[in-house]
Every structure is written in structure tokens, then in C-alpha cells.
């Protein structure tokens, strides 16, 4: 069986998800005597092909100025032509901003069953099962493709480890671009960088991360006081930014910043994977949450199950007391 993996790159960098997926593909290939084909689309991306060749039995390289920047419509045209021709048993794409725009429409066009945001894939005989999270990580679901012989999956970033010492030495094959005309109904017109804020949370040694559990913007000063007492800076989860309670530059997570402080004190944060991905490299994680089942406790070294409105003021007082002593 052929496992076709779409490599992802942006602004001259091969993204890690590409090698994560190829490593997972290798595990499946070993169990199914399968072959891994990496597909690389872009312009001026030949260098990536050499890296991918270590992780794949074959690299298909299609270069075309129309593929320079990611455009789901252009990618869909190229991939559907390629997949129709090769008929792979599995197509693997990243569950990234890029894959979320591309995979569902491609699956419909090709009439392939699709499971998105997979954390793992299990093989039993010739059946593939996808393992994914639902209800913000509180529940796992095992999904099958209803007996279909072919499937498409999108894989969650950081869910699979990049294998070390892969040296498959795949051949690099250049394929002509099937794109004949420009796509004028969806045009990429540029990137926009996040504006730099007044505080750089990535530089702080101590972060007090506040989540939706804070309930009201009027309660944010209480968190700021705690941060001040402990000599740290306030960061937050996404809903706090979505609600405009704190500026975007304070957001930790996949669509915010990645932080690695000495201490990350998570207050009223449930621990959704998109948040964890931005802070699980912290030296010490402490969580305060009233829900004992909150996924954040699986990432933390210390936890307090309680109402944050009772713990936070008490903690601030205790810290001030100990500092004074």
C-alpha cells in the first residue's frame, strides 16, 4: 500500500509536521509492508526534497510559480490529479491552518473518507482506525472508515514524534505541474505579522497564565497582583484574547506564542491541546482549576483543585508574607 504524505512548508522553511507525519507513516508502512511517498509542492523548494528523501521511499517534487504560496484551491487541483493517478491507500496531511483549508474539499472531490485532527492511527489487518480527541480533550474517540479501502487523515501537530536516524534514501522524482491557468477566484495577497506588544512574554521567567475561568475582565487585576507579587508577567489562553480582556501578544498557544518559563502558573485554564502546545516546555507547571478532570492537570507537576477566586488572593498574600520574612 502507498501512503502519500503532503509535506508542508512556509516562507522557506520545511515545517515540522512534515517529518512528524512521515515518521508516523513509517510505523504504518512497517506494519503493512507499505511504501511512503512524500509530495512536495512549491517553487524553489528542491532543498527540502533532500531532507524528505531520508524519511520517504519516494519524493514527488512539483515546482510551479503558481504554487509558491499556499493556496488550497491550487493545491487541491494538483493533489487530486496526483491522487487519481496513483491511487494511494492513505493520504496524510497536517491538521494545520494549511491542511484545514485543503483536506475537506479535497476529500469530497476524491470521494475519500476523511478523519481530521488525528492524534494517532491504529492498524488492524487492513483496517485503519483514527484516534482523536473530542470535547476539548476530555474524551477520546476511535473512528473507522466504514470498511473503505482508502482514506485521508489530517494529523495534529506535535502528536507524533519525529523518528531519529531515518535514512530511507528515497528517490526524488520531478513531476510536471498539471496547473494550466491561474486561479483567479482565490488569490493569496500576502502575510501579516502580529504586531509586537509592550511585553514580551517569551522572555519572562515566571508567567501567570489566566484562562476563561476568570469570568470577567474586572477580575484580571487580581491576576496582575498575583503576578506582581511573584515577580512574573501575565499571559493568557485564547478566549481571554478573543473577548478582548487582554491583548493578543499575551496569548500562549499554537496561534499565539510558545513560552518556556521557569514557572507557568495556569489559573482557570482547562488545558486544551492548542494551549498546551505553547507552554508544555515550561520547567515547572502549576495549575489551579476547580474541575479535577481538567486536562491541564495531566500537564502540570502541581495542582490545586479549588475556586481560583479563593486561592489566588490567598496565594498572593502568602507570597508577600514569605518575601517579607
Structure letter (DSSP) for residue 281: T
Using rule CB under 6 A, residue 308 touches ligand FAD:
yes
CA distance 184 to 176: 21
Interface pick for ligand FAD out of 274, 280, 319, 320 (rule CB under 6 A): 274
x/- letters, 50..89, toward ligand FAD (CB under 6 A):
----------------------------------------
Interface pick for ligand FAD out of 15, 280, 309, 319 (rule CB under 6 A): 309
Of residues 198 through 257, those in contact with ligand FAD by CB under 6 A are: 211-213, 237-239, 251-256
Using rule CB under 6 A, residue 116 touches ligand FAD:
no
Give which of ligand FAD, another protein, none residue 262 binds (C-beta under 5 to 8 Å, depending on kind): another protein
CA distance 230 to 207: 9
Interface pick for ligand FAD out of 71, 116, 154, 289 (rule CB under 6 A): 289
Question: Of 23 and 254, which CB lies nearer to another protein in the complex structure?
Answer: 254
Question: Of 129 and 177, which CB lies nearer to another protein in the complex structure?
Answer: 129
CA distance 267 to 271: 10
CA distance 307 to 290: 5
CA nearest 67: which of 94, 88, 29, 40? 40
Least separation, in Å, of the C-beta of 153 and another protein? Answer: 10
Using rule CB under 6 A, residue 261 touches ligand FAD:
no
Residue 213 makes CB contacts below 8 A (sequence gap 6+) with 267, 268, 269, 270, 289, 290, 308
x/- letters, 135..164, toward ligand FAD (CB under 6 A):
-x----------------------------
CA distance 60 to 72: 18
CA distance 312 to 259: 22
Beta-ladder partners of 171: 58
Is the distance from CB of 121 to CB of 131 less than 8 angstroms? yes
**Binding residues for ligand FAD, per CB under 6 A?**
136, 211-213, 237-239, 251-256, 268-270, 272, 274-275, 278, 289-291, 294, 307-309
Amino acid at each position: 500500500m502507498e501512503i502519500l504524505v503532503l509535506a508542508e512548508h512556509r516562507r522557506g522553511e520545511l515545517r515540522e509536521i512534515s517529518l512528524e507525519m512521515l515518521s508516523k507513516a513509517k510505523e504504518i508502512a512497517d506494519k503493512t509492508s507499505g511504501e511512503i511517498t512524500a509530495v512536495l509542492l512549491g517553487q524553489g523548494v528542491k532543498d527540502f526534497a533532500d531532507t524528505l528523501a531520508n524519511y520517504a521511499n519516494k519524493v514527488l517534487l512539483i515546482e510551479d510559480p503558481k504554487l509558491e504560496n499556499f493556496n488550497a484551491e491550487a493545491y487541491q487541483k494538483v493533489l487530486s490529479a496526483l491522487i487519481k493517478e496513483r491511487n494511494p491507500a492513505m493520504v496524510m496531511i497536517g491538521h494545520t491552518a494549511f491542511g484545514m483549508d485543503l483536506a475537506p474539499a479535497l476529500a469530497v472531490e476524491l470521494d475519500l473518507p476523511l478523519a481530521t485532527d488525528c492524534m494517532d492511527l491504529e492498524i488492524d489487518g487492513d483496517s485503519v482506525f483514527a484516534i482523536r480527541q473530542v470535547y476539548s480533550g476530555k474524551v477520546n474517540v476511535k473512528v473507522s472508515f466504514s470498511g473503505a479501502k482508502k482514506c485521508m487523515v489530517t494529523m495534529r501537530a506535535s502528536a507524533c514524534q519525529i523518528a531519529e536516524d531515518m535514512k530511507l534514501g528515497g528517490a526524488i522524482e520531478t513531476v510536471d505541474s498539471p496547473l494550466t491557468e491561474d486561479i483567479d477566484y482565490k488569490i493569496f495577497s500576502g502575510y501579516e505579522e502580529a504586531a509586537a506588544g509592550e511585553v514580551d512574554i517569551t522572555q519572562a521567567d515566571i508567567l501567570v497564565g489566566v484562562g476563561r475561568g476568570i469570568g470577567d475582565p474586572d477580575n484580571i487585576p487580581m491576576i496582575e497582583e498575583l503576578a506582581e507579587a511573584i515577580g512574573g508577567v501575565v499571559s493568557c489562553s485564547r478566549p481571554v484574547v478573543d473577548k478582548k480582556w487582554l491583548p493578543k501578544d499575551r496569548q500562549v498557544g499554537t496561534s499565539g506564542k510558545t513560552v518556556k518559563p521557569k514557572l507557568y502558573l495556569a489559573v482557570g485554564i482547562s488545558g486544551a491541546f492548542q494551549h498546551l502546545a505553547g507552554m508544555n516546555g515550561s520547567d515547572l507547571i502549576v495549575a489551579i482549576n476547580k474541575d479535577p478532570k481538567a486536562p491541564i492537570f495531566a500537564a502540570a507537576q502541581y495542582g490545586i483543585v479549588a475556586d481560583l477566586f479563593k486561592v489566588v488572593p490567598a496565594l498572593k498574600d502568602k507570597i508577600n508574607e514569605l518575601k517579607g520574612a
